[in-house]
A and B are shown apart, each in its own frame.
Chain A
Amino acid sequence: MTPPRPTSWTLAGLALPAVIGLPLAAGLAGVVAPAFGVHPGLGATRPTFDVLAGLLTDPSFGRALALSVMSGLGASLLAVAAAFGFCALAAPTRWFARVRPALAAGLALPHASFAVGLAFLVAPSGFIARAVSPELTGWREPPDFLLVGDPWAVSLLAALALKETLFLILMITAALGQFPAESLLRTARSLGYRPLRGWLMAVAPQAYRRVRLPVYAVIASSLGSVDLALVLGPSSPPPLAPLLLRWFTDFDPLLQQRAAAGALVLLAATLLAILAWRLGERGIAAFARVRLLDGDRGGGALDRAVGAGAGGIVGLSLAVSTGALIVLALWSVAAAWPWPEALPRGWTLAQWGAAWPTILRLAGDTLLVAALSTAVALALAIAALEARPPRPDAAIDAVVLTPLLLPQAGFLFGVQVMWSALRWDGAIAAVVCTHLLFVGPYVYLALRDPFHALDPRLARSARSLGKSRLVTLLQVKLPLLLRPLLTATAIGLTVSVTLYLPTIIAGAGRVTTLATETIALSAGGDRRLLGVVAITLAALPFAALRLALGLGAWAARRRRGLAA
């Protein structure tokens, strides 16, 4: 093999930004143009505000937007507060390291499985009510509470917060490795600060800077949540993102255009929410400056409340995730299970047997899409990181990471227009390329810092031994980065397996995965089949995570000096 010339490296490095940036640009164009009534194909080239005006007069629009903003921002606030509160509580203690695998496992539980499991748990006819009825409650029939799908989306907000808290804790944990967090905490404590207060004051602000991107990603994904909103959100009207999905599939072209305008509004609302958050950050920083000058060393009621609240939310999140898995597993092997019996009347593997061919097909497609998108993402991310100078390249970062900062419903409809124009709709390739928009950024993020942290002298000495750049990459750098590569693979697979909206849109009904099937079965139909599908869905990311951890640990035992 001839050593690649520098130009080919530059080109290879641009592949990742290209496969993300081009569909993204097409997606935004495919939303903006129809939102202003521009349809070149139909000869309409003059922009008008008619479509936006129609959106504003739509009876469901105002409320749907308000629901999205309230549940999205509320959940983000709660998740950020709980994640930092929990880290302040736990990071100074020895059990922080021990609870991390549980947090990672909880995070690996896909949103769809989490949502249906949660609904099975807490609905008035759900598992908890069954367990205590009628003995404790006297309920002969399920009480008429509006707990799941309440009109103010409170249950959606709570579920989003529970799910995103775990994500943020793991992001914070990763950030803590990037600066001397332990020494800073020790210094604050030697000045007399209690651990929780000391962590919040000396460590949290520096950690926050490093998790800003994940925090903004949480805001965007919460505002644009579709899968959780379909299961746990209100239905009349639903929040904006699921409402847009409904409009897009309507055969009334007016509603389809309205959906484009709504997508534009959702994008704008998300960007405004992030902007408002940014301003809020300054406010909190200013407040903290005043606060921290008072010399209070902590340990008071406020600290106890922060610790108890955050610990409670994290505990609840883990408990709900575990409970969701258990109740899904119970349904998957239940014979008849009428209200209000706490347990099924009998056990059977009949639904597993009956669903087996379907499950195999769904799991096969799910894994095929996940494996292809992760493999492509890994190759392109490595090329992008290898091709550029040692410092992070802001322009590439901006393009690659943008999909994480936008609500999916804000641009995916436009992306689909492009696949359709290429007559690619419903093909596995289109689904893989659409997944790449989300798998790519996460894989890139997982590899970026370890790649840059690798001592450049290692590669230099390999080159001075006469090895080409490619050989050095393949034989020196990548093997040294084995553990981050394994982690990135597990993250990529998990992201892909979990994706709902991108699969639904690009799959066009011909590519269905465990995630889309779980949501499809969530509202009606046989709960036992739903249990089978949702459990299988939950098993895949968990297996990927275990495998990555196991292989990583095995490699680490053989070679202790590998990058973590």
Chain B
Amino acid sequence: MAPLTRRTLLAAAPAGAAAGVLAACRPASPAADAPPLDWPGVERAARGQTVRWSAWAGDQKINAFIEWVGQEVSAAHGIRLEHLKTDDPSSGVTRLRADKTAGRSDGGAIDLLWINGENFAAARAQNLLYGPFAERLPNFRFVDRIGKPSTVRDFTLPTDGYESPWGMAQITFFHDAARLPAPPRSVPALLDWAKTRRGRFTYPAPGDFVGVSFLKQVLSELIADRAVLAAPVEPARFAAQTAPLWAYLDALHPHLWRSGRAFPPDYPGLMRLLEDTEVDLAFAFNPAEAATAVAAGRLPTTTRAFTFEGGTIANTHFVAIPFNATAKAAAMVVANVLLSPRAQARKADPAIWGDPTVLALDSLAPAERAAFDTLAANAALPSAGDLARTLPEPHPTWHIALGQAWRARYAA
């Protein structure tokens, strides 16, 4: 795939040895860079700090939004925001693990980390995150913890305040109604349709987050007992439980784009295939993905969005602060700005990014809510009804196991 940035910390081994020696020479002071306990104190401490935010950079819309956040925090809080562009959401965790083994417990190179799901699970399991901090953010009280439970349970795991939500995501399908008036609306219907329209559908190669999410969607619809997805994978039963998924993919692949012998590397690649009319159906985690492309003239105005009848996988994405972050106070301020109604409304605007808000709109002041209301109804956005049908994310272990199993079957 197309990496914007590869953090490459092999093995920590020689690095570990060397850095360990360095670390031993300086006094360990874990409390020295801990942010103050009161919020005004946090804001004061944050002023003048630089926040290095490790965030996936494969989408220009998102990069532009991050740049805007940088301008906001610079103007309002005197914080310099630096976007550490990564091509792979897991690379930040890779980096932190290397720091941990190298004994680099302060002066870390990352202050804020875009994270969710299996990466959060891995980071928590190895104590790579600072916290809890989320409940200390003043804007956290607006978060819709009841209506959007994934804001506090990430891939079934409680967040415990070690990450702060900043956006919602749900698998959403897109098509040009002029070319495909009646798209399939379930996993079985997708296969039937693919058989009649050979080569007109594909999905990002798993390994990619959205690609694995497609596998989870298929498995969620086909598995005999959906409840097992909420628990960690049991290796002994994995093959039997996932058999319907592989049978489905074996049947589907011959009818895919390039007969299933090549896959787009990620969802922007898949959206480009839709743009070029190489496929008739595409999907992404951002429900507004097509709306922004229509606004930019890349997709026709007859583009429509929908979710499956039985619902589609939905989740929340978060920011976390590394255990060895240098600018923890400023990172908290940035996380709080991300939760502000102003930033959330801007982010939800399809002309900007179209990432749905994590806030409960009825908890906002009327003036703040108005910013969301002005987001015009858009024909290329899914209906509220479509967005209401959600499926939960499986336990993080499924993400890893499904990705590996797919690679063994189809990328060997």
Do the two chains belong together in a single complex? yes
The yes or no answer to B397 lying at the interface (CB within 8 A) is no
Q: Which 10 A/B pairs are nearest by Cβ-Cβ distance?
A: A524-B268, A41-B16, A421-B18, A509-B5, A520-B4, A125-B276, A236-B411, A59-B412, A144-B199, A39-B13
The yes or no answer to A559 lying at the interface (CB within 8 A) is no
Task: Report which of A146, A149, A237, A507 forms a contact with B411, defined as CB distance below 8 A.
Answer: A237
Task: Report which of B18, B20, B88, B400 forms a contact with A249, defined as CB distance below 8 A.
Answer: B88
A534 to chain B, nearest CB (A): 13
The yes or no answer to A504 lying at the interface (CB within 8 A) is yes
Q: Which of B89-97, B329-337, B387-395 contacts A (4 or more CB under 8 A)?
A: B89-97
In the bound complex, do residue A251 and residue B94 qualify as a contact, i.e. CB atoms below 8 Å apart? yes
24 contacts between A and B (CB under 8 A): A26-B14, A41-B101, A59-B408, A63-B412, A123-B276, A125-B273, A149-B262, A230-B3, A235-B265, A236-B411, A248-B6, A250-B90, A250-B94, A256-B10, A257-B11, A416-B9, A417-B11, A421-B102, A509-B86, A522-B2, A523-B264, A525-B58, A525-B268, A526-B296
Cβ < 8 Å to B, chain A residues 503-517 = 504-505, 507-510, 512, 516-517
Cβ proximity bits B183-219 to A, threshold 8 Å, 1 near / 0 not: 0000000000000001100000101000000000000
The yes or no answer to B221 lying at the interface (CB within 8 A) is no
B357 to chain A, nearest CB (A): 24
The yes or no answer to B163 lying at the interface (CB within 8 A) is no
In the bound complex, do residue A504 and residue B3 qualify as a contact, i.e. CB atoms below 8 Å apart? yes
The yes or no answer to B386 lying at the interface (CB within 8 A) is no
In the bound complex, do residue B258 and residue A524 qualify as a contact, i.e. CB atoms below 8 Å apart? no
A343 to chain B, nearest CB (A): 15
Give Cα A512 to B15, complex, Å: 23
Task: Report which of A38, A141, A151 forms a contact with B13, defined as CB distance below 8 A.
Answer: A38
B119 to chain A, nearest CB (A): 7
Task: Report which of B60, B85, B269 forms a contact with A526, defined as CB distance below 8 A.
Answer: B60
The yes or no answer to A396 lying at the interface (CB within 8 A) is no
**Nearest-CB residue, chain B, relative to A243:** B411
Known A-B contacts: A509-B57, A524-B271. Give 11 more (CB < 8 A). Answer: A30-B10, A248-B8, A251-B119, A417-B10, A418-B15, A505-B6, A508-B84, A510-B52, A520-B57, A523-B264, A524-B269
**Nearest-CB residue, chain A, relative to B57:** A520
Residues of A within 8 A of B17 (CB): 40-41, 421
Residues of A within 8 A of B54 (CB): 509
The yes or no answer to B248 lying at the interface (CB within 8 A) is no
Q: Which of A201-209, A299-307, A334-342 contacts B (4 or more CB under 8 A)?
A: A334-342
The yes or no answer to A529 lying at the interface (CB within 8 A) is yes
In the bound complex, do residue B264 and residue A524 qualify as a contact, i.e. CB atoms below 8 Å apart? yes
In the bound complex, do residue B93 and residue A516 qualify as a contact, i.e. CB atoms below 8 Å apart? no
Residues of A within 8 A of B278 (CB): 124-125, 141-142, 144
The yes or no answer to A234 lying at the interface (CB within 8 A) is yes
The yes or no answer to B12 lying at the interface (CB within 8 A) is yes
In the bound complex, do residue A33 and residue B7 qualify as a contact, i.e. CB atoms below 8 Å apart? no
Number of residues on chain A facing chain B (CB within 8 A): 79
A146 to chain B, nearest CB (A): 5
**Nearest-CB residue, chain A, relative to B86:** A509
Given the known interface contacts A41-B13, A150-B262, A509-B84, the answer about A524 and B101 at a Cβ–Cβ threshold of 8 Å is: no
In the bound complex, do residue A516 and residue B13 qualify as a contact, i.e. CB atoms below 8 Å apart? no
B134 to chain A, nearest CB (A): 22
Residues of A within 8 A of B58 (CB): 520, 524-525
Residues of B within 8 A of A123 (CB): 276
Residues of B within 8 A of A418 (CB): 14-15, 18
Given the known interface contacts A125-B277, A524-B58, the answer about A249 and B2 at a Cβ–Cβ threshold of 8 Å is: no
Residues of B within 8 A of A105 (CB): none
Cβ < 8 Å to B, chain A residues 224-251 = 230-231, 234-237, 245-246, 248-251
Residues of A within 8 A of B107 (CB): 423
Residues of A within 8 A of B122 (CB): 251
Given the known interface contacts A249-B94, A521-B2, the answer about A512 and B264 at a Cβ–Cβ threshold of 8 Å is: no
Give Cα A512 to B263, complex, Å: 27
Given the known interface contacts A29-B14, A151-B262, A338-B300, the answer about A230 and B1 at a Cβ–Cβ threshold of 8 Å is: yes
Given the known interface contacts A125-B278, A249-B3, the answer about A523 and B11 at a Cβ–Cβ threshold of 8 Å is: no
Residues of B within 8 A of A425 (CB): 109
The yes or no answer to A253 lying at the interface (CB within 8 A) is yes
Residues of B within 8 A of A125 (CB): 273, 276-278
B residues with CB within 8 A of A: 1-20, 22, 52, 54, 57-60, 82, 84-88, 90-91, 93-94, 97-98, 101-102, 107, 109, 119, 122, 198-199, 205, 207, 257-259, 261-273, 275-278, 296-298, 300, 400, 407-412
B121 to chain A, nearest CB (A): 11
Q: B3, B84, B87 — which one has the most chain A CB atoms within 10 A of its CB?
A: B3
Give Cα A336 to B293, complex, Å: 11
**Nearest-CB residue, chain A, relative to B84:** A509
**Nearest-CB residue, chain B, relative to A355:** B60
Give Cα A250 to B298, complex, Å: 33
Cβ proximity bits A234-278 to B, threshold 8 Å, 1 near / 0 not: 111100000001101111110011011000000000000000000
Residues of B within 8 A of A256 (CB): 9-11, 94
The yes or no answer to A468 lying at the interface (CB within 8 A) is no
Give Cα A150 to B263, complex, Å: 10
Residues of A within 8 A of B5 (CB): 504, 507-509, 512, 516, 520
In the bound complex, do residue B1 and residue A523 qualify as a contact, i.e. CB atoms below 8 Å apart? yes
Give Cα A516 to B85, complex, Å: 11
**Nearest-CB residue, chain A, relative to B102:** A41
Residues of B within 8 A of A40 (CB): 13-14, 16-17
Residues of A within 8 A of B407 (CB): 59-60, 236-237
**Nearest-CB residue, chain A, relative to B5:** A509
Residues of A within 8 A of B276 (CB): 123, 125, 142, 339
B295 to chain A, nearest CB (A): 12
Given the known interface contacts A230-B1, A520-B87, A524-B58, the answer about A417 and B205 at a Cβ–Cβ threshold of 8 Å is: no
Residues of A within 8 A of B300 (CB): 338
Given the known interface contacts A41-B16, A144-B258, A413-B10, the answer about A249 and B411 at a Cβ–Cβ threshold of 8 Å is: no
Given the known interface contacts A249-B6, A420-B98, the answer about A235 and B14 at a Cβ–Cβ threshold of 8 Å is: no
In the bound complex, do residue B272 and residue A249 qualify as a contact, i.e. CB atoms below 8 Å apart? no
Cβ < 8 Å to B, chain A residues 17-39 = 26, 29-31, 33-34, 38-39
Residues of A within 8 A of B57 (CB): 509, 520
Residues of B within 8 A of A39 (CB): 11-13, 16
Residues of A within 8 A of B259 (CB): 144, 146
Given the known interface contacts A142-B278, A336-B298, A522-B2, the answer about A421 and B19 at a Cβ–Cβ threshold of 8 Å is: yes
Give Cα A422 to B5, complex, Å: 20
Cβ < 8 Å to B, chain A residues 385-434 = 412-414, 416-418, 420-423, 425-426
Cβ proximity bits A482-510 to B, threshold 8 Å, 1 near / 0 not: 00000000000000000000001101111
The yes or no answer to A186 lying at the interface (CB within 8 A) is no
The yes or no answer to A519 lying at the interface (CB within 8 A) is yes
